[in-house]
Amino acid sequence: MFNPHATRRTILKSAIAGVAIASASNAVVHADLAAARPFPQHIRYTSGAILPNHISQEEMDAAVKRHYDAWTTTYVRTDGGVGAWIDYDESGATVSEAMGFAMVLAAYMGDKTNFDAFYTYVRAHPSEIGPNLMAWKQELQDGMMVDVEGADSATDGDLDIAYGLLLANAQWGSDGETDYLSGALAVMHDTLTYVVNPELSSLMCGDWSGEESAHYTRSSDFMTGHMLAFAKADTENAAGWEAIHDTITQAVNDVFVNEGEGSGLMPDFLEHTGERWRPVPGEWLETEHDGDLYWNACRTSWRTAMSWLTDGRGDVLGSQQALCAWIQDATDGDPRNIMSGYTIVTGELGQPIEDYSDLAFVAPFAVNAMTGGESAQEWLNTLWDSITGKDFEEVYWYFGDAIRMHVLLTISGNWWIP
């Protein structure tokens, strides 16, 4: 089956291997404009969650701010016609994933100037299918950002865009020039209409997904905390969002007790076979490793932990804690030994796919470590040091830097729920 998104992660992969991107950035200067919850916010997570304890709260907050400043300076661009966008590779392109990341980060940091510029850009590039969703990719051509490789959507970007708008509503309200809440609800409602398989209450990969791909899902969309926030905001459809959360946790647990053999490893893509969720057996959308933990599933150790950290939902806590133990054992407690991908279906369970480490794979394990209790405290401390300078520079590359920023906000105690 042909799919226009087949090269999406492959394109990103070409930018890695430890080389920092040199961005032609024309960054918007960000400012804290009367945010209701200005950074930092020190949140009390679920009982049992741990934070780094070898440095002070002030030092953690300063690290978050430093990395955010580096992020905006390096990746925010304002050329291209309207608004601001994230330069996600060296070709002058962006994707909805990057815009969703950017909107969430700007809202948490109280950066209204950049947030509004990002949202202006997003609204200028709607999907040709779901009108309130975003077209997944644009490139700079003759001074203008234009949609390329199909003007349809990618689910992960839209979920973050909606969540970012909920944060913006909490920060600045919706009675001014921009109605953030209505914008969030519009994205959520189009997600329910065009992206959710109603039979399975599962997230499909985009609004392009037809009947032949309706029983597939992508683990990078397993944003458990987002689903619960959507249920609170979209009360009319709360049961639907809760059902999607339940499907996500069922998929995680299906793999955990079967193909994952209790390791907690998750594949990039899963299919529902009529009985349960399983890793896809081979290449389905992107690479031969679609059924392994690779460039999509690298985020699941962070994303699936969030509903426990912020809401106390223990649906996948067993999987998270098992993964925390597994990765410490597999790496001898050294983050530099976290490799970029692990096999689930293409070889013996847990064998490294690549022979190098990457920030996009290392950073999410810090959120995962928060679930591990006292036995994971030293591991979490070591991961903090690794991703804040010991092993990875302040500017690494777009994807890893974006994930690191989300992780630092979380493990520093600054991830609040709108």
Q: What structural domains and CATH numbers belong to the chain?
A: 28-411 (1.50.10.10)
Chain centroid to CA 385: 21
pLDDT band at 81 (very low <50, low <70, confident <90, very high): confident
Dist. CA 45–CA 65, nearest whole Å = 21
Arithmetic mean of pLDDT, 328-332: 99
State whether residue 109 is helix, strand or coil. Answer: coil
* Residue 355: active-site member: no
Q: Report residue 232 as tokens.
A: 């609170």
Percent of the chain residues topping a pLDDT of 90? 91
**pLDDT score recorded for residue 91:** 84
Give the pLDDT mean for 126-146.
98
Mean pLDDT check: name the lowest of 30-34, 143-147, 169-173, 381-385: 30-34
Instruction: Please state the pTM of the whole predicted model.
Output: 0.93
Name the amino acid, one letter, at 60: M
pLDDT 10s digits, 8-37 = 334 344 333 333 333 333 444 444 468 999
List all residues 6 or more positions away from 219 whose beta carbon is below 8 Å from its beta carbon.
Answer: 251, 266, 267, 268, 269, 270, 296, 297, 299, 300
Q: What angle do CA 133, 277, 288 make, to 5 degrees?
A: 75
Residue 132's nearest CA partner among 76, 73, 207, 62 is: 207
394 flagged as catalytic: no
Q: In the structure, what pLDDT confidence band is assigned to residue 295 with cuts at 50, 70 and 90?
A: very high
pLDDT (0 to 100) of residue 33: 62
Q: Which of 97, 221, 234, 254 is catalytic?
A: 97
Q: What is the dihedral of CA 122, 125, 126, 127, to 10 degrees?
A: -120
318: pLDDT strictly greater than 50? yes
Question: Which one from 89, 156, 292, 358 is the annotated catalytic residue?
Answer: 156
The one-character DSSP state at 134 is: B
Q: What average pLDDT score do residues 345-361 get?
A: 99
> How many Cα atoms occupy the beta-carbon half-sphere of 67 within 13 Å?
28
